[in-house]
Amino acid sequence: MEHILGHGWEITPAGGATGEAFFAKHQEQKLFLKRNSSPFLAVLSAEGIVPKLVWTKRMENGDVITAQAWLNGRELKPEEMSQERVAKLLKKIHDSTPLVSMLQRLGKASFEPGKMLLELESSIDHEIIQLPNASAAMRFLKSELNNVKNTEFVVCHSDINHNNWLLSDDDELYLIDWDGPVIADPALDIGMLLYLYIPRENWSQWLDQYGIDFTDNLLLRMKWHVIRQALIYIQWHKDKHRFHEMNNWIQFLQEVMKG
């Protein structure tokens, strides 16, 4: 990294799962660097969804380094996920034609429920399936598969955890960490956000802010996608030996299945 930036830059790892992200500082200049980011980042920057992309450089070994503006700020608190600006930014993302076009150019096809279910069945192990809530959840996903088909496919972030929402010191809101975007039913993002952060009695109000009616069909689609994602997280935490987090998601799945 040093030979790209020049002398005098202080570079420190930014953490994260990939180990490919860094903070760089030189006097008053601050950058967020990442190795081999998707070209999708440029469109996210142009749309104002992530902090501004400053430059992109290709290294001799073929790696591509991107530099974004390093903004002082903080992640949203769980209780702040009910704010109107969260709903408005998510709606902006879901309405963006350039985002869909770029993912399609990168080879992404629409991620339909049938394919989602097949991928889940191939990735979840026998021990998880034997859990009572998990086996009931899989039966639900299969039985409702034909009822959750949707004609609207948008770019979904697919991990709208409050930690991924950045509020800058200038009061600008961004959704960051776009490592797993998909072209899918917007209910994928909306459902997880509502089930995790918004009291049930306030769902209709939040959806009004987003700009969509609260219907029985939307409720079914949200529940289907949330159950699928919960099973994925249960398996992921088990694979990482994070059993406390795994049990939290099992409890979460149980609550969703009740509703």
CATH number for the domain formed by residue range(s) 75-258? 3.90.1200.10
Point out the residues that are catalytic: 159
Q: What is the rounded distance in angstroms from the CA atom of residue 140 to the CA atom of residue 138?
A: 5
3-class DSSP string for 121-173: HHHCCHHHHCCHHHHHHHHHHHHCHHHCCCCCCEEECCCCCHHHEEEECCCCE
Domain map of the chain by residue range? 2-70, 75-258
CA atoms of 144 and 19, how far apart (whole Å): 39
Instruction: List phi, psi (to 5°) of 123.
Output: -105, -20
Q: What is the pTM of this model?
A: 0.90
- pLDDT tens for the chain, 259 residues: list them: 556 776 778 888 886 555 578 889 888 888 989 887 788 999 999 999 999 999 988 888 888 889 998 888 999 999 999 999 999 999 999 999 999 999 999 999 999 999 999 999 999 999 999 998 999 999 999 999 999 999 999 999 999 999 999 999 999 999 998 989 999 999 999 999 999 999 999 999 999 999 999 999 999 999 999 999 999 999 999 999 999 999 999 999 999 999 7
CATH fold for the domain made of 2-70? Phosphorylase Kinase; domain 1 (3.30.200)
Q: Are 200 and 89 in contact (CB under 8 A)?
A: no
Determine contact, residues 204/214, Cβ cutoff 8 Å: yes
